[in-house]
Every structure is written in structure tokens, then in C-alpha cells.
């Protein structure tokens, strides 16, 4: 058991638990010794894999898998929550700057609710010809603690999780979802980080998914984007959100989910956003990459149930486990993600 993160971890790992094999000597942890003066008095459960404090998977895999998805008529009602009027986007390019690897545009457009604006960052590759294959990114929840997206090209998620996609010749769009960066505040932070079973959490999450769908509306206005070759790329929270995203948004052709699974903080989701009603209705090719010792999304109670219940045909879904905790090895993430996108979208031209 390791307390705290490493330089290559998500920022929110600084006060979290991680797990690793007893003889693991990776760069993420140091060397520690322990002496048990009376080992016979230590209960066996003390040496079992622990669940991260504050993020229990209620009832384990049995509790998740014994739930029954709603029928199609009720699901259609749930799905309608994510619909909205296709009003004028009133889109704007707010800034544009170039680097050796990409052109970065900050854009904005009207949200589907509340008179708000949705900022977003469009990374356009310089080593490929348009129209570009495009990846929409939804990462971890670290941005709910950060109030500005300024200097996004140097943000740690950009460098760790998707800059390689742009360097490979694909465009990446990173929307500023409800509650993230400058669209966040202390009230929204408390809602997003609290009990998933609340009405407030469900309402914010539905707005976040509307932000993503509205982002695709925006990309459809850009002639340099190949909207027929669109991928969803979720990391951590973004992977956990994938069942609802991919079941209600039909414009994606492929998905990659990093460090995710079923997640429940303090309680089960409300029925209208419970992933059990969505996951079996996901049909598109999906790659899942996970750490074997992930305490946020444990293998048996989170990762495996999500993979098994995906409605994607067996030949078009893969799940790979690595000897890490929350985040799989970055080099493996790059290799497997590019191979998966090449397989289903075709190589970049």
C-alpha cells in the first residue's frame, strides 16, 4: 500500500492510496521494510487488497451485475435527457497559435442549456492533410480543482494523455465541460466530487454530456474535420462516463478508455444515469486499458463488470491489464491507442 502519487500520476493522486505487488520496484515508489513481531495475531484480511477510502464499490461485482437494465421504452425516456434543441451555435475562434507540432485554437459556442458558453481547445496537426481524423477527449476530474485552462498545451493531461495523438496526425478536441477549469466553482466542485446518487450530481453530469454532444455539433461546422472518423477517448472520469456517452451519442466510430470502469462514490447512481442501463447498449469498437492494482476502479468489482457488460461484439472489444495502479504505462497507452485507431479509422494520411 502506497500513500501519495508520483511525478507521472494524475495530480489528484497526491493524497490517494495506491497498491502494488510486494516486490514491485518501479519508479513510483521507494523501498520500505516492515517487521511483524507477532504475525499470528494479524488477521488475514489485513493483507488483502484494500478498497480506496471514500470510493467503495457498493456490494462489489455481485451488486452491479445483479441489476437489470431497463427495457427499451424506459431507456428511451432516459436517453431523452441528453437531447436538446439544435439552436445556433454562435461559434467563435477566440485565439489561435502555432507550435512545431500543432495549431491550437481556443473556440467557444453556446451551450445547450442556461445561456452558457462552452470553451474548447482544438489541436490541429501540422504533419497530416485535412480532413483530419478527430478525437474528443474527456479526462480526469483534476480540472474541477483548477480555475483556469490558460496554457492548456502545457497542462499535464495534454502532455501525458493526448499530445501523442496530434503528433501522430490526428486532431484532438478538448471541451471545457461543466464544472471544469473556468466553468467551475466551489459549489460545482462539491457536487461533482460528492455522492453520485444525488439529483444534483445527475443534473451536472447530464449537462457535461450535452457539452460533449454540442462539441460534435461544432466540429461538424469545420471543413477540415472528418466527422465520419470520430473517436471518443476517455481517461479515468472520462472512461467512467463512457457508457452513457457512447450509448446516447451515435456519431462516434470507435472508443478508447484509459483507467476506467464502473464507479460509485458514496452510493449508486440515480436510475436515470446508472451506467448499467447504458453499457449494454454500447455497440462500437472499444479498447480498455487498466492497471491491475487500481484502487479507484478495482479489477473484479469495476473494470471486469464494465468490460463484460459492454454490448460491443466480442471481436471488437479488448481489455488489457498492466502491472500498475490507476494509470497504465504511458508507452503502452500510446502504442495500443494508435494501433486501435488505425484499425478502426484507418492510418493517418
Which residues are CB-contacts of 46 (< 8 A; sequence separation ≥ 6)?
none
Mean pLDDT of all residues in 128-148:
96
- pLDDT over 80 at 15, yes or no: no
Separation CA 133–CA 172 (nearest Å): 9
pLDDT value for 195: 82
Which residue has cell 493517418? 348
- pLDDT over 60 at 136, yes or no: yes
- pLDDT over 50 at 97, yes or no: yes
- pLDDT over 90 at 160, yes or no: yes
Separation CA 301–CA 2 (nearest Å): 21
- pLDDT over 50 at 216, yes or no: yes
Three-state SS string over 225-247 comes to EEEEEEEEEEECHHHHCHHHHHH
pLDDT value for 55: 43
- pLDDT over 60 at 240, yes or no: yes
Lowest mean pLDDT among 112-121, 129-138, 266-275: 266-275
pLDDT value for 47: 72
The residue with greater pLDDT, 279 or 36, is 279
pLDDT band at 4 (very low <50, low <70, confident <90, very high): confident
Mean pLDDT of the chain: 90
User: Among residues of the chain, what percentage have pLDDT more than 70?
Assistant: 92
pLDDT band at 110 (very low <50, low <70, confident <90, very high): very high
pLDDT value for 31: 63
Separation CA 256–CA 254 (nearest Å): 7
pLDDT band at 70 (very low <50, low <70, confident <90, very high): very high
Lowest mean pLDDT among 85-99, 109-123, 187-201, 224-238: 187-201
CA torsion 322-327-332-338 (nearest 10°) is 130
**Beta strand ranges found along 164-260 (DSSP E):** 171-175, 225-235, 254-258
Which residues are CB-contacts of 10 (< 8 A; sequence separation ≥ 6)?
140, 142, 156, 157, 236, 326, 327
**2-3 and 317-322 beta bridge pairing:** unpaired
Which residue has cell 502545457? 154
- Cell (9 digits) for 9: 500520476
Alpha carbon distances (Å) from 255 to 19, 23, 198, 286, 310 = 27, 34, 28, 5, 12
- Spatial strand order in the sheet of 286-291: 92-98, 102-110, 117-125, 171-175, 132-138, 225-235, 254-258, 286-291, 317-322
pLDDT value for 67: 83
- pLDDT over 80 at 162, yes or no: yes
Mean pLDDT of all residues in 95-112:
97
**171-175 and 225-235 beta bridge pairing:** unpaired
Mean pLDDT of all residues in 275-289:
97
pLDDT band at 50 (very low <50, low <70, confident <90, very high): low
pLDDT tens digits, 293-337: 888 888 988 999 999 999 999 999 999 999 888 999 999 999 999
3-state secondary structure of 132: strand
Separation CA 60–CA 195 (nearest Å): 17
Q: Domain-by-domain residue ranges, the chain?
A: 60-345
Lowest mean pLDDT among 13-27, 121-135, 255-269: 13-27
User: Would you state the CATH architecture of domain 60-345?
Assistant: 3-Layer(aba) Sandwich (3.40)
The sign of the torsion formed by the CA atoms of 140, 145, 150, 153 equals negative
Q: What are phi and psi of 99, to 5 degrees?
A: -135, 175
pLDDT value for 169: 98
pLDDT value for 53: 41
Closest by CA to 47, choosing from 103, 1, 114, 99, is: 1
pLDDT value for 23: 72
Mean pLDDT of all residues in 107-120:
98
- Decide: 111 and 117 in contact? Cβ < 8 Å: yes
Q: What are phi and psi of 291, to 5 degrees?
A: -95, 140
pLDDT band at 56 (very low <50, low <70, confident <90, very high): very low
pLDDT value for 196: 86
Amino acid at each position: 500500500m502506497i500513500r501519495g502519487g508520483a511525478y507521472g500520476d494524475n495530480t489528484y493522486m497526491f493524497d490517494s492510496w495506491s497498491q502494488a505487488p510486494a516486490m514491485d520496484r518501479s519508479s513510483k515508489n521507494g523501498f520500505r521494510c516492515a517487521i511483524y513481531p507477532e504475525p499470528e495475531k494479524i488477521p488475514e484480511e489485513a493483507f488483502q487488497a484494500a478498497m480506496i477510502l471514500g470510493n467503495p464499490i457498493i456490494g462489489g461485482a455481485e451488486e452491479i451485475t445483479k441489476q437489470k437494465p431497463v427495457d427499451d421504452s424506459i431507456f428511451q425516456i432516459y436517453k431523452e435527457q441528453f437531447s436538446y434543441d439544435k439552436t445556433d451555435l454562435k461559434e467563435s475562434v477566440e485565439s489561435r497559435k502555432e507550435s512545431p507540432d500543432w495549431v491550437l485554437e481556443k473556440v467557444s459556442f453556446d451551450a445547450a442549456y442556461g445561456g452558457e458558453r462552452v470553451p474548447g481547445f482544438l489541436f490541429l496537426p501540422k504533419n497530416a492533410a485535412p480532413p483530419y481524423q478527430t478525437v474528443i477527449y474527456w479526462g480526469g476530474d483534476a480540472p474541477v480543482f483548477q480555475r483556469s485552462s490558460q496554457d492548456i498545451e502545457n497542462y499535464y493531461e495534454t502532455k501525458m494523455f493526448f499530445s501523442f495523438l496530434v503528433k501522430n496526425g490526428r486532431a484532438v478536441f478538448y471541451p471545457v465541460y461543466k464544472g471544469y477549469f473556468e466553468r467551475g466553482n466551489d459549489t460545482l466542485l462539491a457536487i461533482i466530487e460528492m455522492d453520485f446518487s444525488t439529483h444534483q450530481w445527475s443534473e451536472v453530469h447530464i449537462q457535461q454530456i450535452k457539452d460533449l454532444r454540442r462539441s460534435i455539433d461544432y466540429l461538424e461546422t469545420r471543413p477540415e474535420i472528418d466527422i465520419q472518423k470520430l473517436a471518443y477517448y476517455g481517461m479515468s472520469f472520462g472512461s467512467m462516463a463512457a457508457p452513457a456517452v457512447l450509448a446516447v451519442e451515435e456519431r462516434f466510430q470507435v472508443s478508447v478508455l484509459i483507467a476506467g470502469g464502473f464507479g460509485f462514490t458514496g452510493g449508486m447512481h440515480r436510475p436515470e444515469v446508472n451506467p448499467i442501463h447504458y453499457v449494454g447498449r454500447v455497440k462500437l469498437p472499444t479498447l480498455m486499458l487498466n492497471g491491475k492494482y487500481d484502487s479507484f476502479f478495482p479489477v473484479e468489482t469495476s473494470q471486469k463488470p464494465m468490460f463484460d457488460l459492454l454490448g460491443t461484439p466480442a471481436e471488437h472489444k479488448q481489455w488489457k491489464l498492466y502491472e500498475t495502479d490507476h494509470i497504465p504505462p504511458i508507452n503502452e497507452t500510446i502504442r495500443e491507442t494508435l494501433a486501435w485507431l488505425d484499425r478502426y479509422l484507418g492510418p493517418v494520411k
